[in-house]
Structure 1
Amino acid sequence: MTFISKDRPQTGNSATPSSNRHSATDTGLIFMFAGQGSQYFQMGRELYDHDDIFRHHMDRCDRLLSFDLRDVLYNDAHKGGAFDAVEWTHPALFCLGYSLAQVLIEQGYRPSGVLGHSLGEYIAATIAGMFSLEEGLELVVRQAQILKQTCAEGSMITVMESPEFYRKRPDIFFRASLGGINYDGSFFVSGLADDLQRVLAALNSASVFSVQLPVRYGFHSSAIDPAESEFRNICRSVRLSRPQIPFYSCALAGDVSRHVWDSSDEYLWRIPRGEAQFKTMVENSFPNPERYTFIDLSATATLSGFLKYGFGDRYTHHFAINQFGRNLDSMATLLSQITP
């Protein structure tokens, strides 16, 4: 793959955790990475300003891009604006999740496994060693470019109802796909922008609480099918390595399986196109919750929220940052909670 860079030298390929004071099998830590819809301008700003490890890895990622990611994210002129341009949000989410993971890894907190939801699967795959930082970041950059070139604009809506509500009310969800099930009381739908606006209006009329996500494309629906052929062609050039730690996939509703090695393009396309099955994946993969501590390394603690509201106190979970700022405090709290 030819990377889109600023003609700056590339850094090393290894994105897997280095050996520190924990082994990969004794921590019980599961690093979680969410995808589109969790982004916002200024995410991680306080860490970038004050945490040397986070800043180093954000800068490392930035050198691989054709634009100045830090200026996009941390330009004060962007505060309060809608952060939904996919050519920015795809790499921004990837770089943020990767850099947050490195903050923990370089302080000795190696994950026993990684968990990815939607775009977050590409971050998880990188941390697990399935491909390099350069390859993972290029993949999301190229996906964003292809989406912008080939797909009509779409939308995604989180609905705070049982997934059965989707099946029982085809009048509301006409031409909207079930994009994923977060937990028993939450799912999301996806599709073309005009269709989703009608869905949102119908949900409001029915007094059903819903949230339109800050995305411009209908991930996990046929709205992105025009991107399939070109993106899969790119994916065929990606050589996947076997993960060096367990890797749990919402696209596959469980552990990454053997068939992935024989059909990398099928799996890598399924991540944005297939149903994101967080609820089923958790139930299939973690039947003994007491063995694990889940660390949400996304921008808004989205997946930690899914565990909290979907599974009660069964799973121990923490987050690194959220949309309310005070990143240094939240990171310090996290480290105090998982210190051996």
Structure 2
Amino acid sequence: MAKVAWVFPGQGSQAIGMGVDLAVLPLGQERLAAAEEILGWSVLDIVQSADDKVSNTLYTQPCLYVVESILVDLLKAQGHQPDVVAGHSLGEYVALYAAGVFDFATGLALVQRRAELMAQASDGMMAALLGFDAEALAAKIEATPGVVLANDNNPGQVVISGTPEAVTAVMDGVKAKRAVKLNVSGAFHSPLMADAAAQFAQALEPVHFSVAQVPVLSNVDPTPTTDGAVLKQRLVQQMTGSVRWREITLALPELGIDRVIEVGPGNVLTGLTKRTCRDLALVNVGNLDQVNGLAV
């Protein structure tokens, strides 16, 4: 029998209208109502806002968490279970929820606090680079103070993060097929997030992390573990640490994974995974039709 990994996308995968079809179900209605109690605003209102409110960090992260968590619950209700889970940046919170590390409300409260802190982070800049010489990029980052590799997504795509001057210097100094400044409020996954990370650690400290029901591969350490204390410590490090997605993807075949299901809107992770491990079977589950169409 095939072994399956569930992976969860993060910021950048949001889309206007995502999750609206889930609101017709009792489970969806229940989760959306619970979310509004916690957040103080309606996820459905935000995702249906024509002015793309869902792409504001303050709203993006909670909305993605809610929509992806509902998809998790629907999949499990139909008898699906993952053998391993992982999530990209914000998606790691959904992975922990899917693994039973904390409940829906606890995860959402953490995500809301994370989004508030990250939305306030006005210093710094991020940029995506595609099609580059890895050695040349590593050397340029090493020689440029104030910039780090924030997302190691796959062999042909990375994101750098740091001060505007340092990020621009790397963009100008490394030949790439494409280099694009990202529309984000700060230098996420870099040391510039240290103050926000320290504040978030205070919110995280009293939260109990249960033993995971399936192994979790964390962004800052792709070594699979079910230890709640270890997973919590890795989450503390996540805001300033790199997202090691390429290594997570490479670890999946070594764990015997044959099939990867991207649970959430879009197909960003499917595209990244395809470039790294071509032999994995890839499936997207981002709406109700795709949930219902997934064979047990």
1:44-69 Cα distance to aligned partner (Å, 9 max, x none) = 33x24655544543344333211122
Change (3 A) 1:92 1:165: farther
Change (3 A) 1:195 1:220: same
The counterpart of 1:157, out of the listed 104, 109, 127, is 127
Separation in 1 of the partners of 2:179 and 2:26? 39
Q: How does 1:146-295 map to 2 (within 5 A)?
A: 146-149=117-120, 151-161=121-131, 162-170=133-141, 175-193=146-164, 195-196=166-167, 202=172, 206=175, 208-256=177-225, 258=227, 261=229, 264=232, 266-287=233-254, 291-295=257-261
Residue correspondences, number: 295
1:339 alignment partner in structure 2: 295
Range with greater deviation from structure 2 (51-60 or 182-191): 51-60
Separation in 1 of the partners of 2:253 and 2:35? 32
Separation in 2 of the partners of 1:89 and 1:187? 21
Look up the SS of the partner of 2:40 in the other structure.
coil
The counterpart of 2:75, out of the listed 97, 101, 104, is 104
2:16 alignment partner in structure 1: 41
Separation in 1 of the partners of 2:253 and 2:282? 13
**Identity percentage of aligned residues:** 23
Any gaps of 5 or more consecutive residues in structure 2? none
Task: Please tell me the residue identity of whatever aligns with 1:286.
Answer: P
2:285 alignment partner in structure 1: 320
Task: Please tell me the residue identity of whatever aligns with 1:315.
Answer: L
Residue 89 of structure 2 is aligned to residue 133 of structure 1: no
Look up the SS of the partner of 1:296 in the other structure.
strand
1:299 alignment partner in structure 2: 265
Separation in 2 of the partners of 1:137 and 1:230? 17
Separation in 1 of the partners of 2:240 and 2:97? 19
1:166-203 Cα distance to aligned partner (Å, 9 max, x none) = 21434996632101211211211112456545655x27
Look up the SS of the partner of 2:184 in the other structure.
coil
1:144 alignment partner in structure 2: 115
Per the TM alignment, residue 138 of structure 1 is displaced from its structure 2 partner at its CA by 0.6
Separation in 1 of the partners of 2:239 and 2:118? 11
Separation in 2 of the partners of 1:51 and 1:164? 50
Task: Please tell me the residue identity of whatever aligns with 1:102.
Answer: D
RMSD: 2.9
Separation in 2 of the partners of 1:97 and 1:84? 16
Change (3 A) 1:221 1:293: same
Say if 2:129 and 2:176, in contact at 8 Å, map to a contact too: no
1:122 alignment partner in structure 2: 93
1:113-161 Cα distance to aligned partner (Å, 9 max, x none) = 2112211111110111111111111111112223344x32443322113
* TM-score of the aligned structures, taking structure 1 as reference length: 0.76
Change (3 A) 1:245 1:309: same
Separation in 2 of the partners of 1:210 and 1:56? 42
2:6 alignment partner in structure 1: 31
Change (3 A) 1:169 1:117: same
Change (3 A) 1:316 1:131: same
Per the TM alignment, residue 88 of structure 1 is displaced from its structure 2 partner at its CA by 0.8
Separation in 1 of the partners of 2:31 and 2:158? 33
Separation in 1 of the partners of 2:242 and 2:267? 21
Separation in 2 of the partners of 1:256 and 1:152? 34
Say if 1:220 and 1:275, in contact at 8 Å, map to a contact too: yes
1:6-40 Cα distance to aligned partner (Å, 9 max, x none) = xxxxxxxxxxxxxxxxxxxx662321112122223
* TM-score of the aligned structures, taking structure 2 as reference length: 0.86
Per the TM alignment, residue 164 of structure 1 is displaced from its structure 2 partner at its CA by 2.7
Say if 2:149 and 2:161, in contact at 8 Å, map to a contact too: yes
